[in-house]
């Protein structure tokens, strides 16, 4: 089967979603913030090497979201990204290992019964839309004072609407379906 690639815009003007007809990540998702994190993913490394403006690469299911810093026009790098993905995808292992970046903070994904319930609500309500737009969210912490800390991934990470509209929508959904006193806060980094 010939590899097919479709490029989709996202609500984030600095992110494009490169959708393939084959998997790029078999299980879960992963965000790279720089080339030094790509030891187990040569495709991500070569994509970072294309242009210094590329600031994040997100792998999920059958797509790769590339986020750039806004210093270049997409017309200047989009074709090189497309060609590189098509040239390298057959050698790419969608089962690549993921390790926490060396410079990551001590914060890790939250767990527990309350987080499981929140994740189930977000899986039904919010995540499908975020994933359609080339991103996702990870829950980092849920405190005793009912404050939920989330981390945006992929195109959502630097999207202007994520910090305002999406964050507010997540909080409203969780207040309605989980706990009326919950507050949702965006984490700047992982």
Q: How many CB atoms lie within 10 A of CB 182?
A: 21
> In this structure, what token pair is assigned to residue 190?
């992982």
pTM here? 0.81
For the domain made up of 5-91, the CATH class stated in words is: alpha beta
**Residue range(s) in the chain whose domain bears CATH number 3.30.1370.70:** 5-91
Give the dihedral sign, CA 74/186/115/119.
negative
Under 8 Å CB-to-CB from 8, ≥6 apart: which residues? 16, 17, 19, 134
Residue 105's pLDDT is 38
- 45-86: per-residue pLDDT in tens? 999 999 999 999 999 999 999 999 999 999 999 999 999 999
3.30.300.130, 3.40.50.620, 3.20.20.80, 3.10.420.10: CATH of 113-186? 3.30.300.130
Interatomic CA distance for residues 42 and 118, integer angstroms: 34
């Amino acid at each position: 089967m010939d590899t097919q690639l479709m490029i989709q815009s996202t609500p984030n003007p600095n992110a494009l979603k490169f959708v393939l007809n084959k998997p790029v990540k078999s299980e879960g998702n992963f965000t790279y913030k720089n080339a030094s994190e790509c030891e187990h993913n040569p495709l991500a490394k070569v994509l970072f090497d294309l242009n210094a403006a590329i600031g994040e690469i997100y792998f999920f299911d059958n797509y790769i979201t590339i986020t750039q810093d806004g210093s270049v026009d997409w017309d200047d790098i989009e074709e090189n990204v497309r060609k590189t993905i098509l040239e390298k995808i057959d050698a790419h292992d969608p089962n690549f290992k993921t390790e926490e970046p060396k410079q990551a903070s001590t914060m890790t994904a939250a767990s527990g019964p309350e987080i499981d319930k929140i994740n189930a609500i977000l899986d039904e309500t919010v995540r499908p839309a975020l994933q359609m737009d080339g991103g996702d969210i990870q829950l980092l912490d849920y405190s005793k004072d009912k404050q939920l800390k989330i981390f945006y991934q992929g195109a959502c990470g630097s999207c202007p609407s994520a910090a305002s509209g999406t964050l507010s929508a997540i909080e409203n959904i969780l207040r309605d379906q989980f706990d009326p006193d919950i507050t949702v806060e965006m984490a700047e980094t992982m």
